[in-house]
């Protein structure tokens, strides 16, 4: 049986004031999928340096290391500076170029994409031509469900690249701010904005996360609204990734969409209540995810 999910893109160190944690949205999504018992592979690149060796160690300890993790002798491993504001909302200073700007095509990568039921990818790693072309060729070679995690990190994107990726996606996930940017800052309601987005891009499923206010999802010609689970926020790093992982897991399982959205919001809220993107799930959260 093939891989259920292939997650493609950046892996990096998130450097906080008091230390650093492994991160990168596609890696975070993969990590949460593994915690939820979903068979997952992860494709990225690290540098041939101490930071890269440490990331490989992390990936091995979390069942995410394979021959899909390339090592680059030209570009360094990525270390991102994370800054938290007074509400513990994160902003990021991302260096360039780094190893995952140079993900190369390979036979192993093509086989993994062809075996996957879903492939998850984001916009950040597509800021350079090399990685972007590797991904676009993969998407052309796989029948998998294509899940695009919009991850707008100025100045690391162009509208033309985002439009190219959206056009290839079956599922598009973004936050409210990203929805406003992509739809042109429309003053219409979020439901009307989603309708406008769908009429332009013809996406099969559209998820818009709203932080503490939950999420609104359009799927199979219906809207699904979840009010969210307010928590005391430790930081917002990885909360959207946890939401997406849980959503993809639920979507692949064919469970009722309202249940899937509610559970995705619940897991995203838990991660927001913890420091860093990849907290270990407590037993009660794992039990609540047993249906996935």
Give the start-end residues of each E strand in the chain: 5-8, 12-16, 19-23, 40-47, 69-72, 79-84, 90-93, 118-122, 145-149, 171-175, 205-209, 215-219, 222-226
Instruction: Report pLDDT for 20.
Output: 87
Tens-digit pLDDT profile for residues 72-120: 999 999 999 988 788 777 788 999 999 999 999 999 999 999 999 999 9
Instruction: Report pLDDT for 184.
Output: 64
- How does strand 205-209 pair with strand 215-219? antiparallel
Question: 292 pLDDT exceeds 50?
Answer: no
Lowest model confidence (mean pLDDT) among 18-22, 80-84, 183-187, 248-252: 183-187
Tens-digit pLDDT profile for residues 133-177: 999 999 999 999 999 999 999 999 999 999 999 999 999 999 998
Q: What is the dihedral of CA 85, 89, 94, 98, to 10 degrees?
A: 140
CA distance 79 to 20: 9
186 or 9: which carries more pLDDT confidence? Answer: 9
Q: What is the dihedral of CA 214, 218, 220, 222, to 10 degrees?
A: 80
Distances (CA, A) of 197 to 192, 205, 218, 221: 9, 11, 11, 14
SS3 112: helix
For the chain, give the percent of residues with pLDDT over 70.
97
First vs last C-alpha separation in the chain: 18
Residues in the chain: 292
pTM: 0.93
SS3 76: coil
Describe the strand order of the beta sheet including 19-23 as a list of residue ranges: 19-23, 12-16, 79-84, 90-93
Indicate the pLDDT class of residue 54, thresholds 50, 70 and 90.
very high
Q: Are 34 and 69 in contact (CB under 8 A)?
A: no
Q: What is the dihedral of CA 238, 244, 247, 253, to 10 degrees?
A: -100
Please name the residue that has the structure tokens 């892996």. Answer: 11
CA distance 106 to 159: 28
Tens-digit pLDDT profile for residues 6-20: 999 999 998 877 788
């Amino acid at each position: 049986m093939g891989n259920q999910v292939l997650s493609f893109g950046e892996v990096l160190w998130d450097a906080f004031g008091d230390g650093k944690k492994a991160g990168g949205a596609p890696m975070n999504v993969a990590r949460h999928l593994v915690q939820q018992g979903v068979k997952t592979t992860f494709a990225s690149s690290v540098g041939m340096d101490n930071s890269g060796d440490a990331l490989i160690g992390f990936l091995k300890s979390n069942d995410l290391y394979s021959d899909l993790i390339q090592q680059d002798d030209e570009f360094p491993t990525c270390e991102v500076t994370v800054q938290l504001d007074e509400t513990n909302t994160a902003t990021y200073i991302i260096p360039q170029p780094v190893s995952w700007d140079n993900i190369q095509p390979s036979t192993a990568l093509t086989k993994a994409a062809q075996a996957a039921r879903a492939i998850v990818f984001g916009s950040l790693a597509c800021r350079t031509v090399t990685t972007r072309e590797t991904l676009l060729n993969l998407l052309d070679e796989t029948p998998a469900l294509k899940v695009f995690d919009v991850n707008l990190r100025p100045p690391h994107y162009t509208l033309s690249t985002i439009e190219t990726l959206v056009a290839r996606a079956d599922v598009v996930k973004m936050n409210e701010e990203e929805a406003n940017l992509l739809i042109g800052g429309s003053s219409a309601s979020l439901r009307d904005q989603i309708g406008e987005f769908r009429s332009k891009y013809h996406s099969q499923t559209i998820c818009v996360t709203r932080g503490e206010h939950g999420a609104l999802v359009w799927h199979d010609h219906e809207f699904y609204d979840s009010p969210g689970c307010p928590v005391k926020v430790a930081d917002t790093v990885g909360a959207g990734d946890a939401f997406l992982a849980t959503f993809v897991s639920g979507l692949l399982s064919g469970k009722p969409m309202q249940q899937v959205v509610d559970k995705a919001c619940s897991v995203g809220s838990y991660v927001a209540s913890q420091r860093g993107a990849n907290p270990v799930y407590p037993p009660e959260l794992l039990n609540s995810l047993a249906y996935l």
